[in-house]
Structure formats: structure tokens, C-alpha cells
Amino acid sequence: MTAEETVYLGLGANLGDALETLAAAVDVLAQTEGFAVTDVSGVYRTPPWPPPDDPRSVVQDDYLNLVVRGETTLEPHALLRETQLTEAAFGRDRDREQRWGPRPLDIDLLLVGDRVLETDELTLPHPRIAERAFVLVPLMEVMPDGKLPDGRRLTRLLMDLAPLEGIELEVRLEDVPGPRIPRPEGPGSPGARFERPGFDDVAGAHGARGERG
Ligand code: A4P
Ligand code: MG
């Protein structure tokens, strides 16, 4: 266990019910011991990267992407194990997939505090943040000072990628109802600070709107 560090995770999905997967994956992260979700960006619809004019590109559906900000007491490799277990729980099978090809769920550790790390399993910061609008756009929403640890501004990096085509805000998770799961409390488990509305809350809110209209 270490002192709490601020973490940014990039989530992407383009196989199966991508929105339901992302919403449920954020719920799972919020339940993870030693990890608290403190903010979640909007869910963006993004064209596959690399783009079609790149020889590495793969023909596949659009992705949905979001970025989670969290606080964690987990060491980076322990956090990576948790995120890979979560990917597997949503049907990810690394042995049967293509690099940069379609996947039910991908979770990248973008930043863990100011750590700089290069091991066989983990590179921090994630080496391809600056090339990817599908990361930069949602990251900008949840990163208070808008700068990478090396001082590069996200807005500047995005300008370098311009023109941005085909990235659209799809929905906010606050508007996607889900089952309410009690949050674990206790030492070593910073309480989760992000909760999706339960089905009843959303039904209630819609009912209330209906009565007014
Ligand atoms: N690994 C090393 N550093 C990290 C890190 N910081 N975070 C290792 C996560 N994993 C890290 O990962 C391969 C290995 O990288 C892992 O076993 C881990 O030990 P992977 O998830 O299979 O990813 P990859 O295919 O090698 O590539 P990369 O660069 O992580 O790309 P992505 O993001 O995983 O590529 N287009 C859009 N619009 N939206 C997307 O979300 N995603 C991908 C998938 C391609 N195109 C996309 C999107
Ligand atoms: Mg990945």
C-alpha cells in the first residue's frame, strides 16, 4: 500500500453493448478495494484509431471512450492486475485479438501520480496519450490543470491533432441507470465518490418530468 495517488484510466469498447460495458466497468472500478472513482468524463463516440490512411489501421466499428479519475493506494502493477481482471470479466481474451483491433473492453493506465515507469508489463505515463484524440478529449474534462506531468498542455496536444473528425459526446454516465451496489467502507478502501443513479431514481425523475409536462 502507498499514499493516495491520483490516477487517470482510459476505457474503450467497441464489441457487444459498449455503453453497458463501460457503465458496468466503472461500477466495478468503484468497488475495487484501494481505488475510489472521483470523476468520470462523458462517454464519447470515436472513430477507430489508427485512422484508415494508416497502414496499421483495422476495419472495425466506432468505439465508445471515457476517462475515469481516481484516487488509489494500490501500487501501479497491482492496479494493472485489477484493470486486467476487469477487462477479462467483460469478455476480453487477449490471446484471440488483434493489436488495435476490436475489443469488448480496454482499460489503459494513462497516468499514476507523477510516476515514470518502464517495465515489461507497464509503461507510465501511457506512451500514446498525445497521439490519441479519443484519450485527450475525455481526459481534458476530468483533469483539473489540463497538463501532463511533463508540462505539456492537453489543449495544445489536441490542436496538434486537429482537425478532429467524428468525435461526439454520446451520453453522460450520470444519465445511464444501473443497479445500486453498496459501497465497501473501511481502512484501505477509500470510499467511492461516483455513483450512477439507480433504476428507481431515474424512473422517478422521468415520472416527475412526465407529471409536469
Ligand atoms: N501495458 C504497458 N503499459 C500499459 C499501460 N500504461 N496501461 C501493457 C495498460 N497496459 C499497459 O495492452 C498490451 C499490454 O500493454 C498489456 O498487457 C500491458 O501489460 P493492450 O490493452 O492489449 O493494448 P495494445 O493493443 O497493446 O495497445 P495500446 O497502445 O494500449 O492500445 P489500446 O488503447 O489498448 O488499443 N480507437 C478508438 N477510437 N478508441 C479506442 O479505445 N483502442 C484501441 C486499443 C485501438 N483503437 C482505438 C481504441
Ligand atoms: Mg490497452
Domain ranges of the chain: 18-174
What is the structure's pLDDT at 116?
A: 96
Residues whose CB falls within 8 Å of the CB of residue 200, separated by 6 or more in sequence, listed in order: none
Q: Which residues of the chain have pLDDT under 50?
A: 186-189, 208-213
Answer yes or no: is the C-beta of 133 below 6 A from any ligand 1 atom: no
Report DSSP letters for 144-174, one per residue.
Answer: TT-B-TTS-BHHHHHHHHPSP-S-EEEE-GG
Q: Which of 108, 115, 152, 193 is catalytic?
A: 108
CB atoms within 10 A of CB 122: 15
Comparing CA positions, the residue from 182, 176, 118, 112 lying closest to residue 148 is 112
CA distance 202 to 193: 19
pTM for this prediction: 0.89
Q: Quote the pLDDT of residue 89.
A: 92
119 lines ligand 1 (CB under 6 A): no
Is 120 annotated as catalytic? no
Q: Is the CB of 106 under 6 A from ligand 1?
A: yes
Give the β-pairing of 5-13 and 35-40: unpaired
Residue minimizing CA distance to atom 16 of ligand 1: 121
Using CA atoms, how far apart are residues 106 and 11, in angstroms rounded to an integer? 6
Question: What are the CA-CA distances from residue 83 to residues 61, 203, 208 (Å)?
Answer: 23, 31, 38
If you measure from the C-alpha of residue 175 to the centroid of ligand 1, how many angstroms do you get, rounded to a whole number? Answer: 27
Residues bordering ligand 2, an ion, CB closer than 5 Å: 106, 108
- Give the model's pLDDT for residue 34: 95
Atom of ligand 1 nearest to the CA of 87: 21
Query: What is the per-residue pLDDT across 8-32, written as a single tens digit (0 to 9) for each?
Result: 999 999 999 999 999 999 999 998 9
CATH assignment, 18-174: 3.30.70.560
- Residue 103 among the catalytic residues: yes
Render pLDDT for 136-156 as a digit per residue (tens, 0 to 9).
Answer: 999 999 999 999 999 999 999
* Atom of ligand 1 lying closest to residue 11 CA: 41
Is 108 a catalytic site residue? yes
Distance of CA 83 to the CA centre of its chain: 10
CA-nearest of 92, 118, 72 to 14 is 92
